[in-house]
């Protein structure tokens, strides 16, 4: 369980793209804590300088400010790298509906540049962030790899395209690629601010500040909210996965299902506030329910998540209490 006992060759070097963001900065931290070297490549478009400053004094950490839309920068960043953890992308379904061209350039071309650079520089493993959004309107639960529906947003198209490109790089160029379909990740350092913020950090911040959060729709939507530690475990274990599992995408979640109204109530109770939510309209491109079958990742990556939603939400609340 977990990732504390994973072992890599002593001189291993990782590249985390999007390493100044929420998931990427947690990956950098975990790699440093395990004693390996990590290079972070980020254009700071949605990421934060403060997530770089946290590690900049560590001799095992290196930061390149740069854009994965630029192949030359990707080539420079992949020099001497064993494992790529490609997290750089813009998230948010609604924003992607407003900016389809940007999502194509950034999320698809950016990842394609990284695949090409990884291939040319002889990277051992290429692990990349995909998303549960690739299941689109498929209603059957739990979501299972191989049973995807119609895509509902440019963001989902970008993640699906990344998976298809990664498959080509495994098929034709022997690059071991592993796609991780994250399901609603939450935890420390997730940005609570802005119109496109994820619900958990946004609600915690608003409740701490005595503001009334807005729940989109009736709050009866459910998600497989996944604590960041489980995502770190999946990334590290994918780097150690056999080549026979390459060219595939895997659900990365806890395998549970939480309703938004219940989460809201849990947060209100945990924070000791008495604030009613505002109910707003449904969001375009959103699905009603989502939860994951994680058996494929368990079987082929040895993924064995040990952070339940309850354990994770407690840790997240504690972190925001101290850091907001």
Q: Which residues are catalytic?
A: 155
CB of 29 or CB of 174, closer to ligand NAD: 29
Q: Please, which residue, 13 or 15, has the CB nearer to ligand NAD?
A: 15
The partner residues of 107 in beta bridges, in order of sequence, read none
Q: Quick one: which of 12, 96, 113, 131 contacts ligand NAD (CB under 6 A)?
A: 131
What is the closest distance, in whole angstroms, from the C-beta atom of residue 276 to ligand NAD in the complex? Answer: 26
CB of 109 to ligand NAD, least distance (A): 9
Segment contacting ligand NAD (CB under 6 A): 63-71, 135-143, 200-208, 312-320?
Answer: 63-71
Q: Which residues pair with 217 in a beta bridge?
A: none
Sequence-distant (≥ 6) Cβ neighbours of residue 134 within 8 angstroms: 148, 151, 156, 159, 160, 163, 181, 249
Shortest reach from residue 9's CB to ligand NAD, in Å: 26
Please select the residue that binds ligand NAD; options are 61, 182, 203, 309, rule is CB under 6 A: 182
In whole angstroms, the minimum distance from the beta carbon of 10 to ligand NAD comes to 28
Residues 229-288 that bind ligand NAD (CB under 6 A): none
Q: How far is residue 148 from each of residues 93, 105, 144, 166, 320, measured CA to CA in Å?
A: 17, 24, 8, 17, 35
Task: Give 229's contacts (C-beta < 8 A, 6+ positions apart).
Answer: 2, 187, 305, 306, 307, 312
Q: Residue 234: left if φ>0, alpha if ψ -120 to 50, beta else—which one?
A: alpha
Work out whether 90 is an interface residue with ligand NAD (CB under 6 A).
yes
| Residue 271 · residue 316 · CB < 8 Å | no
List all residues 6 or more positions away from 89 whose beta carbon is below 8 Å from its beta carbon.
18, 106, 107, 110, 111, 129, 158, 159
185 is a contact residue toward ligand NAD (CB under 6 A): yes
Among the listed residues 2, 6, 34, 67, the single contact to ligand NAD using CB under 6 A? 67
- Any contact of residue 148 with ligand NAD (CB under 6 A)? no
Hey, is 213 helix, strand or coil?
coil
- Of these, 29, 42, 82, 258, which contacts ligand NAD (CB under 6 A)? 42
Q: Using the minimum distance from each CB to ligand NAD, give the nearer residue, 79 or 269.
A: 79
- Between helix 22-33 and helix 228-239 the angle, nearest 10°, is 60
Residue 49, interface with ligand NAD (CB under 6 A)? no
Note the Cα 62 to chain centre separation in Å. 21
Q: Would you tell me which residues interact with ligand NAD (CB under 6 A)? A: 17-18, 20-24, 42-47, 67-69, 87-91, 106, 110, 129, 131, 182, 184-185, 191, 198
């Amino acid at each position: 369980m977990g990732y504390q006992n994973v072992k890599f060759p002593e001189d291993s070097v990782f590249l985390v793209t999007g390493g100044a963001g929420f998931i990427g900065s947690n990956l950098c931290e975990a790699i440093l804590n395990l004693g390996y070297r990590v290079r972070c490549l980020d254009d700071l478009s949605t990421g934060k300088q403060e997530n770089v400053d946290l590690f900049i004094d560590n001799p095992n950490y290196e930061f390149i400010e740069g854009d994965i839309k630029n192949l030359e920068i990707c080539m420079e960043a992949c020099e001497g790298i064993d494992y790529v953890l490609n997290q750089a992308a813009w998230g948010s379904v609604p924003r992607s509906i407003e900016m389809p061209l940007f999502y194509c350039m950034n999320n698809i071309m950016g990842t394609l540049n990284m695949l090409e650079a990884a291939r040319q520089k002889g990277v051992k493993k290429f692990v990349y962030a995909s998303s549960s959004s690739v299941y689109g309107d498929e209603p059957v639960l739990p979501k299972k790899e191989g049973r995807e529906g119609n895509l509902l947003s440019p963001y989902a198209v970008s993640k699906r395209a990344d998976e298809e490109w990664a498959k080509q790089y495994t098929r034709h160029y022997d690059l071991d690629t592993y796609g991780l379909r994250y399901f609603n990740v939450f935890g420390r350092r997730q940005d609570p601010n802005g119109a496109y913020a994820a619900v958990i950090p946004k609600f915690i911040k608003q409740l701490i500040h005595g503001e009334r959060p807005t729940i989109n729709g009736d709050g009866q939507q459910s998600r497989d909210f996944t604590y960041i530690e489980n995502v770190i475990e999946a990334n590290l274990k994918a780097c150690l996965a056999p080549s026979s599992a390459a060219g595939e995408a895997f659900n990365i979640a806890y395998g549970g299902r939480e309703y938004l109204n219940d989460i809201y109530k849990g947060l209100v109770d945990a924070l000791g506030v008495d604030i009613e939510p505002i109910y707003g309209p449904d969001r375009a491109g959103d699905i009603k329910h989502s939860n994951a079958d994680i058996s494929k990742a368990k079987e082929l990556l040895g993924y064995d998540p040990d952070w339940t939603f309850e354990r994770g939400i407690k840790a997240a609340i504690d972190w925001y209490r101290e850091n907001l």
